[in-house]
Structures are given as structure tokens and as C-alpha cells.
Amino acid sequence: MTVPMQIQRAAVVAAFCAVLSACASKPPPAPEPKPPPPPEIDGEYRGTTTRFQADTKACPHPGLVDFQVIQHQFQYRWDYDTFVLATIAPDGGVTGGAERITLVGKQNGPIIEGDVTNGNCGLHFTVKLHPAP
């Protein structure tokens, strides 16, 4: 029994296509999904301070605290005349200073906590983004 020529050609073409598709390069893997952007931390923060050190009567009093974070920076008011410039790093670390005053802390979501001290006086603050997300 002979196979018609058209069927033979179709079989050869099908076999050739199968060989070509097996040799074709695989498409590159899909790119890794981008991580979500960090949450926006700029805005108004409100909270309270507590005193953890007071070696002199000239230490600032604890109480309410309120500041604006703009482009990951804020000014913490130490006393009537002194502001401490602080920066929030991408990892959430908070650092700052002015004169002999240091500020260290951590930003975690809508909350920033830190300690501000000059060696004789020390305040701990906890603030939350307002309005709360």
C-alpha cells in the first residue's frame, strides 16, 4: 500500500515542525515581582514624652509632643529655644542631634519611638501618625 504524496509531505512537515519547536529556546523567566513601596511616613505625628533622667532642674518637662515629618525628617523641640533635627532612614532607624543633644529611635509603621538626651536630662517619646491610618 502506497501513501499518497500529499500525506507524505504533510508528515515530513509535521516532523520538521516538531523538531524545530523542540530546539526553540525557552522564553526568559518572568521578572521577579517588585516589592511593595515602603509606607508613606510623612505627615503629622502626635504623642507623649516621659522623663527617664533629670539630673538638674533645668531639664525639659515631659508632656505632649507634636511634629511634622517632611521628606523623612522632623524637628523635635527640646526646649523653648532648641530644636533637634532628626532623620528617618529607609530601615526605620531614627537619628538626630543638636548642640550636645542626641536623638535615637525607631519608626515602625505609623509609630515613632525614641530617646532624646543631653547626658543630664533624658526624655522618651512615642508618637503616632495623625490621623491614624
Question: What is the tens place of the pLDDT at every residue in 109-123?
Answer: 999 999 999 999 999
Angle of CA points 132, 82, 54, to nearest 5°:
85
Q: Are 45 and 74 in contact (CB under 8 A)?
A: yes
Domain range list for the chain = 43-130
Span 46-54, average pLDDT: 97
Fold assignment, 43-130: Lipocalin (2.40.128)
Mean pLDDT highest for which of 14-18, 21-25, 27-31, 48-52?
48-52
- 50: cell is 516621659
The answer to pTM > 0.95 is no
- 131: cell is 490621623
